[in-house]
Chains A and B, each alone.
Chain A
Amino acid sequence: MRKGYILKESFKTWLGAIKEKFPLIAPVQDDGLTLFKEVEKVDDIVLDYGITRMPPKDLFFPQTEKMFRIKNKNNVAIELESPEKVTDELVLFGVHSCDLKSILALDPVFTTRFPDRYYQERRDKTYVIGLSCTKALPTCFCTAYGINPTDADGADVHLTELGDKYLVEVVTERGEKLAAAIPGIIFEDTTNLEAEKAKLTEKVKGEIKFIDLTGVKEVLDENFELPLWEKWAQKCLGCGICTYVCPTCHCFDINDFNRGDGVGERFRCWDSCMFSDFTRMAGGHNPRPTKKERVRNRFMHKLKYHLDRYNIVGCVGCGRCVQRCPENIDIRAIISDIKGGV
């Protein structure tokens, strides 16, 4: 890993140089929400945000993605036309450590057993620039999963704001490619900056209430039925907020769209295990008939199934579901209930 720095006074110029070369996606204010969006002006980028309303997963796994076009050829055959190119190269800037980790948690889903060309291409063509947190929100709990709020894990290039400089860590080969393409990083000794980063890490970690996960996985390994699921499920509205604002939730549905004129397209779109029809079969049977089974599935997925399947966390402690759940279903409180064995 190469390390260097960018002077704050030349930082916007550096971002501007990126924007010259690539579409630049970064946190911006949009109608009262902080969202990852394509940047129109570098000045619009929000550098000191707490957390974006929506996670960055949309960049790799869009909520709605066209897969191919279907054309009926005189009722004898159908023609399928896949897009040759899914995306252009782009730069995703300003991703915090929890969200960086979430991308790593999505990778094995879409690139290992069932490689997905859409996800893969988007992933391959996106340069991810991470940004350390300088403050924590009351809903943050990344440290529960061994994530530090300044971790560079998952970024190609990672930045940390320290006084009048940004410490730059070039993490991957793709990061090297980006650094080479966009001049402005000063590769000099960064020992002092690294010491300051360590201090910042401790400061922000200190602002985060530590959630101890010891024993949680073990309880879930041994127990499918626990009274706590019914307790939490009865508070649930069965909406999809928690799954859609979650940076690691990745369920999707596949649908066709056509106007009845023989031309249509197949698309996939996000789906949610919290919806009552998520597991409903064609014959009407539903293996998860009530909110209890559905709520249990979501939290088992976050705390156990993803780890079992991919050996990487299924929750990164971003706290979006805690912030947005209309009925305040709080995974931190559920973790505490699991540990209490209720």
Chain B
Amino acid sequence: MLKEKIKSTVTELLENKRIDFVIGYGAGSDAGTVRPAFVKSVEEVEQLIWSPFAVNNLAKFVMDHLYENIKIGVIVKGCDSRSVIRLVQDKVFPRENFYVIGVPCKGILDKNKVAKDFDLSGDLVDFTEQGDEVILKTSKGEFKLRKEDYLLDKCYRCETPTPVVYDVLLGEEVAPFRTDDYEDVKAIENLSVEEKSRYWDKQFEKCIRCYACRNVCSACNCRDCVFDMAEPNWVGKAANLSENTAFHLIRAWHVAGRCVDCGECSRVCPMGIPVNTLNRKMIKDMKELFAVETPGKNPEQGPVLGTFRTDDPEEFM
């Protein structure tokens, strides 16, 4: 079982002092939630779990340990592993300070979708997977569900179910079995200019400027963020459509070519703004213009907008 594999791997790493601590998943407040667990000693390894709801991307937490002589174990799924590439490529956190514990992933359940049909308010006692079925054993009862019906939207288009970078892989590689058709982006592209404008105005109006989308983002790794600056005051602190629009567009452009499409920005938004759709529009455009892959998918491929090739399209010149 994955949970046992995680525990034994981490125990061994800690015992042999190959890492200083590990960032993994611990039990959350209810069956559909996990909470990051920072495990520093063998005694704490018991806290570690694996859950079909383990959505959180844990890679960015290493940024609390910049410039430390440290080795941090991080448990990553395929999508999260692209964030490791991001942090390494951006020279934020050196590869040698990471110990990447890769988890091949066949998709994570969306707790909001599952909670509509099942009572997730208890604790997750255990779970088993048989084929495409998951049986969730919770303190409020046992629920059997077809995984395919309840995955996170991003999992339906996952092209890297196996981490693209790892030091140890806990399980068999999962071959990519989906392609990203960018249907969500196309749906908005197909709107008229006025409809698009109305759509995004509606979304940006809701923004409460909590900066969760920025803080969770592995591409938002600047030492000083433009949004925290008072002088010059690039974007005002007032929460209104004008400033919020400036915030969202600047945020999207700052991660253009570097966003690894992990989807965390949309997940954490308390107001349900599809933040990541803006990023995905740019990824789609870049794929079409420069024939590149999703950032972070290919460790050899640098940031698209930071790379010059003589055959780059230049029809605008």
Contacts and interface: CB of A to CB of B under 8 A. Distances in A.
Interface stretch (A109-117, A180-188, A326-334): A326-334
Interface in B222-248: 228, 230, 233, 236-240
A279 to B, nearest CB: 13
A326 B61 contact: no
Contacts of A33: 206, 271-272
Interface stretch (A41-49, A127-135, A239-247): A239-247
Given A326-B216, A328-B29, A64 B240 contact: yes
Contacts of B212: 237, 239-241, 326
State the majority secondary structure of interface residues on A.
loop
B28 A241 contact: no
B208 interface: yes
A234 B35 CA distance: 11
A32 interface: yes
Given A53-B270, A240-B212, A257-B238, A332 B29 contact: yes
Contacts of A32: 272
Given A33-B206, A253-B237, A277 B228 contact: yes
Contacts of A238: 215
A268 B1 CA distance: 53
A64 B38 CA distance: 37
A235 B36 CA distance: 6
Main secondary structure of the interface of B (DSSP, over half): loop
Contacts of A277: 228, 230
A82 interface: no
A327 B38 CA distance: 12
B210 A240 contact: yes
Nearest to B208: A244
A63 B211 contact: no
A324 B271 CA distance: 10
Interface string B28-45: 111001111010000000
A64 B272 contact: no
Interface string B258-282: 0000001001101110000000000
Given A31-B202, A234-B64, A257-B236, A239 B38 contact: no
Contacts of A237: 212, 215-216, 268
B137 interface: no
Contact of B238 (A138, A255, A322): A255
B209 interface: yes
Interface residues of A, number: 40
Interface string A231-272: 100110111110011000000010101000000000101111
Among the interface residues B35, B61, B208, B270, which one has the most CB atoms of the partner chain A within 10 A?
B270
Interface of B: 28-30, 33-36, 38, 56, 61, 64, 121, 202, 206, 208-212, 214-216, 228, 230, 233, 236-240, 264, 267-268, 270-272
Interface of A: 31-33, 53-54, 63-64, 138-139, 231, 234-235, 237-241, 244-245, 253, 255, 257, 267, 269-272, 275-277, 291, 322, 324, 326-330, 332-333
25 contacts: A31-B202, A53-B271, A63-B239, A64-B239, A64-B240, A235-B35, A237-B216, A237-B268, A239-B210, A239-B212, A239-B214, A240-B210, A244-B208, A244-B210, A253-B237, A255-B236, A255-B237, A267-B238, A269-B237, A272-B210, A277-B228, A326-B212, A326-B216, A327-B36, A328-B28
Given A235-B38, A241-B210, A328-B35, 16 more contacts: A53-B271, A138-B30, A231-B38, A239-B216, A240-B210, A241-B268, A257-B236, A270-B208, A272-B210, A277-B228, A277-B230, A291-B64, A326-B56, A326-B216, A328-B33, A330-B28
